[in-house]
Amino acid sequence: MAGKPAKQPAKAKSATKADPSPPKLLAGGNPQIAKGFGDEPVQAYIAAMPAWKHDVGKRLDAIITRAVPDVRKAVKWNSPLYGADEDGWFLGLHCMTKYVKVAFFRGAALDPPPPGASKQEHVRYLDVHADRPFDEARFEDWVKQASRLPGERM
């Protein structure tokens, strides 16, 4: 007795096709970018930063790259990270609702330290707002100092 032919499984979607949809924005407009190492995921994060934060991200990345020409880059936990050695990271970026937060992981050792305190002893923050002055020379100096300190392992 002939039965119905076995149902063929549905074809899986091709993993090689690029997803054309823009990255999802999380709380504060922080782009949801897959973990990755190198400049490419960092540039994808910056491209997905909303509104004025995109321009801030481009400026910060350019200053960091100029200050530390051989900087290592990655995106982890939906945040770009920058490192100067194989063992750790000295700086991270994160979009907040009203500003872009720059975390200096050993910021308490910088001279002078960035203004934003943290619950973590060694971390200091710099909040970059759209409508407030931004001292690029001071930021570049902090980046250079931070890149010479031991990196944070993450």
Average pLDDT, the chain: 87
How confident is the model over 9-25, as pLDDT tens digits?
Answer: 443 333 334 555 677 77
Say yes or no to pLDDT of 63 above 70: yes
- What pLDDT was estimated at residue 3? 52
Contact 92, 105 (CB under 8 A): yes
Place of tokens 């971390």: 123
Inside any domain, residue 92: yes
- What pLDDT was estimated at residue 86? 82
Q: Where are the alpha helices (DSSP H) in the chain?
A: 39-48, 52-67, 136-147
Place of tokens 């000295």: 90
In terms of Cβ atoms closer than 10 Å to its own Cβ (0-12, 13-18, 19+), residue 82 is buried
Percent of the chain at pLDDT > 90 equals 72
- What pLDDT was estimated at residue 142? 98
Inside any domain, residue 55: yes
Inside any domain, residue 94: yes
* Number of domains, the chain: 1
Which domain covers residue 121, as residue numbers? 27-147
Return the CATH number at 77: 3.90.1150.200
Inside any domain, residue 88: yes
Calculate Rg over the CA atoms of the chain: 20
Q: What is the Cα–Cα distance from 150 to 93, expressed in whole angstroms?
A: 18
How confident is the model over 31-42, as pLDDT tens digits?
Answer: 888 899 999 999
